[in-house]
Copies of this chain bind each other. A is one copy, B any other.
Amino acid sequence: MDPVLVERVRQAMADLGYRPNAVARNLRRSRTTLWAAIISDIGDPFYTAMVRGVEDAARPAGFSVVLCNTDDDEAKEGGYVDAALAEQMAGVIVAPAGPGAPHVRRLLDARVPVVVVDRQPPELRVDTVLVDNELGAQAATAHLIESGYARIACITGPATVSTATQRAAGYRAALQEHGRPVDDALIRHADFREESGYEAMRALLALAERPDAVFAAGNRLALGALRCLRDRGVPVPGEVGLAGFDDLPWAALIRPALTTVAQPTYELGRAAARLLAARIAEPARPPSTITLATHLEIRDSSVRFGRGVAG
């Protein structure tokens, strides 16, 4: 193409203030450049980091991301899926609210490119990005065992959520691997909120044989448990050790600094975005599942003897 002509056109565009209308273009081409990220809570650092990863991978590929908070409410999720369908969105990345994932199915039926993140949807042929919840939980529990704790409890999420059951499974596996008995009285299912962590910890402390360590399968659960231990004046990690799942930006700042299973949240988002871009480019490709490894971040709350970690 003639570069001087190109320049003249450019100039004319600038002079006239011409802006191509993306809406008209989208209609004509019957495709758009918008993705929906349907997650439960943007206030949760886990999801903010993930969304950051999605965004950073989406932009170079020419896509923008609309954020949708469901608060784990299936009706809200349904509303956002409706919108994604109506707006002909190019793709959807979703952490399904409920166990059945009916709305994910709807998207699939409508041939909308979808990637599921964080939670394993049962029996769905769909691209998925997960972390290895079981292995992470196992590592955290094994660490508590090796730190010298004898009676280790587990506070996890609802039995209907895959992350909760997988983390509980990892906890059991670690106990068995070390030849420790699994006592069901020490396993508490709650929802993932901080208040539930507090409540579960309270119940555990009321036990005749109280635990001397807790693996909390969520960051807010761990925070709630910690607050309960503080309120009761139980020294952590001296009398009760604590490890959580899912790191917090400020986990090192609170006292005692919190041992956690850190998830590669940013990478999770990037992987999901790459998968989505690949599916859009090639709708017929077979669905794949990517599982990312976690990393145990050992801090003060789980180390009974020896010096604390500086921070």
Q: Which residues of A contact B (CB under 8 A)?
A: 19-24, 26-27, 32, 34, 42-43, 45, 48-49, 51-52, 55, 64-69, 83, 85-88, 110, 223, 248-250, 253-255
User: Are A87 and B23 in contact, with the CB atoms below 8 A?
Assistant: yes
Give the CA-CA distance A255 to B48 in the complex, in Å: 25
Contact of A23 among B68, B88, B223, B248 (CB under 8 A): B88
19 further A-B pairs in the complex, CB-CB below 8 A; given A55-B67, A66-B66, A253-B253: A21-B27, A21-B86, A22-B83, A22-B86, A22-B87, A23-B32, A23-B87, A23-B88, A24-B27, A42-B42, A42-B51, A43-B49, A48-B48, A52-B69, A55-B69, A64-B83, A250-B250, A253-B254, A254-B255
Contact of A86 among B19, B69, B87 (CB under 8 A): B19
Interface residue SS majority, chain A: mixed
Jot down 24 A-B pairs with beta carbons below 8 A, ordered by A. Answer: A19-B86, A21-B27, A21-B88, A22-B88, A23-B26, A23-B27, A23-B88, A24-B27, A42-B51, A42-B52, A43-B48, A43-B52, A43-B249, A52-B69, A64-B66, A64-B68, A65-B66, A65-B67, A66-B66, A66-B67, A67-B67, A250-B253, A250-B254, A253-B254
Give the CA-CA distance A68 to B58 in the complex, in Å: 12
Set of chain B residues within 8 Å of A86, measured between Cβ atoms = 19-22
- Name which residue of chain B comes closest to A85, CB basis: B19
Closest 7 CB pairs of A and B: A255-B255, A22-B86, A253-B254, A250-B250, A22-B87, A66-B66, A67-B67
Copy count, this protein chain? 2
Distance to closest chain B CB from A308 (angstroms) = 12
Distance to closest chain B CB from A228 (angstroms) = 13
Distance to closest chain B CB from A66 (angstroms) = 5
- Name which residue of chain B comes closest to A79, CB basis: B59
Set of chain B residues within 8 Å of A83, measured between Cβ atoms = 22, 64
Contact of A248 among B87, B110, B250 (CB under 8 A): B250
Set of chain B residues within 8 Å of A248, measured between Cβ atoms = 250
Give the CA-CA distance A281 to B49 in the complex, in Å: 35
Set of chain B residues within 8 Å of A253, measured between Cβ atoms = 223, 250, 253-254
Distance to closest chain B CB from A156 (angstroms) = 22
Give the CA-CA distance A22 to B69 in the complex, in Å: 21
Set of chain B residues within 8 Å of A27, measured between Cβ atoms = 21, 23-24, 27
Distance to closest chain B CB from A69 (angstroms) = 6
Give the CA-CA distance A45 to B260 in the complex, in Å: 21
- Name which residue of chain B comes closest to A42, CB basis: B48
- Name which residue of chain B comes closest to A17, CB basis: B110
Set of chain B residues within 8 Å of A48, measured between Cβ atoms = 42-43, 48
- Name which residue of chain B comes closest to A251, CB basis: B250
Give the CA-CA distance A86 to B66 in the complex, in Å: 16
Set of chain B residues within 8 Å of A249, measured between Cβ atoms = 43
Distance to closest chain B CB from A9 (angstroms) = 17
